[in-house]
Homo-oligomer: A and B are copies of this chain.
């Protein structure tokens, strides 16, 4: 991790801790896969998972785990942006597609960039559609590309 990344993480340390806790507490598969955020600077998010709980019978990363890592990276980005914008919304995935480009034979990282979607409409009770692309990297090799359409639904409070 670079010095810039470490500095960036310190600024968002509380959010990243809370994101990890939310994942592992409410999604048992994410805890089993040991998914955790690595770097967040307000605009880009990097998430990783070790290879060992996520292997397949070829001893590379299982296609389902690759998709799940990508999905949670996108979900995590929306969650973090909602936290920064001080808005609330239930984030769901409407659809996803993934292309597997190369086997992943070492710990992968998933990267996504925020696309500047206006989340403030959630405060007015409107849903938001958020398309996100996530790239999976293994060292300097791009191994998979995920595209997902997330929807954040305004939370109804009594």
Cα(A65)–Cα(B64), bound, Å? 8
What chain B residues lie within 8 Å of A71 (beta carbons)? 63-64, 67
Cα(A71)–Cα(B54), bound, Å? 15
Integer count of this chain's copies in the complex: 2
In the complex, chain A residues 96-121 whose Cβ is within 8 Å of any chain B Cβ: 96-100
In the complex, chain A residues 54-93 whose Cβ is within 8 Å of any chain B Cβ: 54-58, 62-65, 67-68, 71-72, 90, 92-93
- A33 lies within 8 A of chain B by Cβ: yes
Q: Which one, B56, B90, B94, B98, contacts A27 given CB within 8 A?
A: B56
Q: Interface on A for B, CB 8 Å cutoff?
A: 22, 26-30, 32-33, 52-58, 62-65, 67-68, 71-72, 90, 92-100
